[in-house]
Amino acid sequence: MINKQRKTNETDISVSLELYGTGKADIQTGVPFLDHMLDQIARHGLMDLSIKCDGDTEIDDHHTVEDIGITIGQAFFEAVGDKKGLTRYGHAYVPLDEALSRVVVDLSGRPGLDLGVKFTRDRVGTFDVDLIREFFQGFVNHALVTLHIDNMKGVNSHHQAETVFKAFGRALRMAVTPDERQVNVIPSTKGSL
């Protein structure tokens, strides 16, 4: 279990991450839609994830969402360690009714985000969908992964977002799966990631 704290003038966050868990989630961010999306990562990634956040949501949700992405990214980076014996790459396609998203991840050691989602609405309830980019940018910057996210179809913004987060969890799960053919080998021709 990896525990990370982040305390700034804007947020106070604690994250616990068990990479090889059962999908248990205990998430209290103060942003209900984000709680729902983070629960999808845990359940579909089969990670145990606990998050507690006290953020300045009276201003808006931006700092909370971004800083949670950063803190989960830090925990993930520590959890994968030197990446010896891991599959390294992961991908998933996830549908939800009319929506379909694809997520591809590389535990590359280099932060990169390509987010191809054109949400049909600006908000899901009170949640500003622009913050989804902030979450994933915070994650990749601190997890040091390359992440490609594409929503291929969708009419309902909630469905679009949910397929993205479910596919993200499943892609991470695949990438961190031990590769029985490369035990104790770093999955790179460079010898390091």
Instruction: Provide the pLDDT confidence category of residue 184 given band limits of 50, 70 and 90.
Output: confident
Average of per-residue pLDDT across 146-175: 98
Strands (E) in 44-187, as ranges, are 48-55, 89-96, 99-106, 112-116, 123-124, 127-128, 146-153
| Domain assignment of residue 115, yes or no | yes
Q: How far apart are CA 98 and CA 143, in angstroms?
A: 31
CATH of the domain at 112: 3.30.230.40
- Identify whether the C-beta of residue 91 lies closer than 8 Å to the C-beta of residue 104: yes
The answer to whether residue 187 sits within a structural domain is no
Give a yes or no: residue 189 inside a domain. no
CA–CA distances in Å: residue 65 to residues 30, 89, 101, 175, 192: 10, 25, 21, 24, 31
Mean pLDDT across the stretch 159-184? 96
Give the contacts of 40 (CB within 8 A, at least 6 positions apart): 162, 165, 166, 169
pLDDT surpassing 80 at residue 68: yes
Report if residue 68 sits inside a domain. Answer: yes
Judge whether 94 lies within some domain. yes
Q: How far is CA 40 from CA 24, 33, 45, 58, in A?
A: 10, 11, 8, 25
8-state DSSP, 187: S
Amino acid, single-letter form, for residue 95: P
Domain membership flag for residue 57: yes
Domain residue limits at 52 = 2-182
Q: Do the domain assignments include residue 193?
A: no
pLDDT interval class at 191 (50, 70, 90): confident
Q: Which two tokens stand for residue 69?
A: 């992405």
State how many domains the chain has.
Answer: 1
Q: CA separation (Å) from 54 to 6, 11, 49?
A: 11, 6, 17
pLDDT per residue as tens digits for the range 28-52: 999 999 999 999 999 999 999 999 9
Least confident of 73-82, 99-108, 160-169, 178-187: 178-187
Asked if the structure places residue 98 within a domain, the reply is: yes
pTM for the whole structure: 0.96
pLDDT tens per residue across span 126-139: 999 999 999 999 99
| pLDDT value for 18 | 98
